Amino acid sequence: MTEQAVQGIKLYESKHKEKDIVQAHHHVTHQILYVLDGNGKCTLNDREHSLEADNVAVVAPYTNHSIISKSKMTVLVLEFNETFLSEEVRAELLPLVFDESRVLKMSLFDSSELRQLLRKMLYEQSHGDNLRMLAMKIFLAELLFVFKRSYQTNQINDTNILRVEWLRNYINTHYFEISGSDDISKKMGMSTRYVHSIFKEHYEKTPMQYLTEVRLELVKKMLLETDNDIASICFEVGFESVSTFYRVFKKYVGVPPNHYRTSHLEPEYRKE
């Protein structure tokens, strides 16, 4: 059983009553199913998977799949035709995200990003102007990147190690937008004290100390490899004020950033 292929990108709601059965079928398009509410199970190429709220089913083209709802279940379906995407996205992201059909329970960070991207796509689909399809392509590319990153930590079993790895990866990729420890703990849905405790247990430093190290390593690299103004570098890595940046840099590195740049560019400081 097949259905008429979507020609671009389409996002729509699929409602299932209790004990509803969607018989086995396949699509020539790519699909991402996000469970908004309820629970059930699905089969993907004869492999059975449980479904519950916040789970995501990644369904590659031509995958035979069926759904049985155990309760009333609402699913948001993102369906798209790969020819609608840029060559880079087709080459770099699609083969990794859709290498096989699967059901995912994503990290708190990645799940939050996924929901926000889906909301943006729903808005553009309903209210966007003549640039809405461009926006949909951009948001879809971002969403695929979120999946790619999520796969990197999906095999870790220990809960606290998984949380710590999610957090470390989040800091590595969002260092420029984290405002403080409360921002991190809210995203994890845990107390700041607990988040600090489990992170420090594994890395012997707090998340904010690790964030500072990530930022400063980037700053040092940019000071030596670019001629960007120090204020621009400070802004790019996420410091809110130049004065705070100068104070933190000198505390950790030992010298002000301008002195670090000029001294390391002098011949006697260059590595052979």
For residue 218, the SS3 value is helix
**Entry pTM:** 0.65
Cα distances (angstroms) measured from residue 96 to each of 107, 112, 118 = 18, 21, 20
H or E, element range at 40: strand 39-44
Residue 269 pLDDT more than 50? no
Question: Pairing state of beta strands 47-52 and 39-44?
Answer: antiparallel
- Count of helix runs (H) and strand runs (E) in the chain: 11, 9
- Percentages (nearest 5) of helix, strand, coil residues in the chain: 50, 20, 30
The larger pLDDT score, comparing residue 150 to residue 47, is at: 47
| Gyration radius (Cα) of the chain, Å | 23
Q: Is the pLDDT of residue 8 over 80?
A: yes
**From residue 3, how far is each of 16, 29, 56, 79, 214 by CA, in Å?**
18, 10, 21, 12, 48
Going by the DSSP 8-state scheme, the letter that residue 4 receives in this structure is P
Strands (E) across the chain are located at 9-16, 21-25, 30-37, 39-44, 47-52, 55-59, 65-69, 73-80, 102-105
- In this prediction, what percent of the chain has a pLDDT beyond 70? 92
pLDDT band for 153, please (50, 70, 90 cuts). low
What is the Cα–Cα distance from 79 to 96, expressed in whole angstroms?
17
Domains belonging to the chain, first-starting first, are: 9-151 (2.60.120.280), 159-269 (1.10.10.60)
Q: Which residue has the tokens 């103004």?
A: 229
Q: Can you give the pLDDT at residue 2?
A: 44
